[in-house]
């Protein structure tokens, strides 16, 4: 609450000055002091906003990193679970069969009674 009041004051003050600038540029050039204080206020405001943004984006990026780490962990766990499953017999049988064929290629490759 206390914070918002000075900010409003800055905005209120800014409007007439910039309107005046738009209306009579030569006159504005003759008032460097007013412009200087105006830009100091604007700079200060910008600095404060930037600080706020950095704070929230730091929180966000920390959270994004947490989620990213979690994704990596889940992926590795999923893969590890799958890799840890026992190899079904059917694959070992299949490879034995393929191997047997390679070592002693049958003279009649696809005779019906062979398997």
Question: Which residues of the chain form contacts with other proteins (CB under 8 A)?
Answer: 62-64, 66-68, 70-72, 74-76, 78-79, 81-85, 87-88, 90-92, 94-96, 98-99, 102-104
Contact in structure between 35 and 28 (CB atoms under 8 Å) = yes
Decide whether 51 or 83 has the Cβ nearer to other proteins.
83
Name the minimum Å distance from CB 54 to other proteins: 18
Decide whether 1 or 103 has the Cβ nearer to other proteins.
103
| For the chain, counts of helices (H) and of strands (E) | 4, 0
Report the run of H or E that residue 4 belongs to, with start and end: helix 4-23
Decide whether 8 or 56 has the Cβ nearer to other proteins.
56
C-alpha to C-alpha distance for 115 and 94, rounded to whole angstroms: 11
Task: Provide the 8-state DSSP code for 87.
Answer: P
Name the minimum Å distance from CB 115 to other proteins: 14
Question: What is the chain's Cα-based Rg?
Answer: 38
Decide whether 19 or 74 has the Cβ nearer to other proteins.
74
């Amino acid at each position: 609450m206390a914070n918002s009041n000075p900010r409003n004051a800055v905005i209120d003050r800014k409007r007439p000055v910039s309107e005046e600038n738009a209306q009579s540029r030569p006159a504005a050039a003759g008032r460097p002091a007013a412009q200087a204080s105006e830009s100091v206020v604007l700079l200060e405001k910008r600095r404060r906003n930037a600080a706020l943004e950095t704070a929230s984006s730091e929180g966000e990026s920390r959270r994004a990193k947490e989620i990213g780490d979690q994704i990596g962990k889940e992926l590795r766990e999923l893969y590890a679970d799958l890799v840890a499953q026992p190899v079904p017999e059917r694959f070992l049988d299949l490879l034995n069969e393929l191997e047997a064929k390679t070592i002693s290629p049958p003279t009649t490759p696809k005779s019906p009674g062979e398997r």
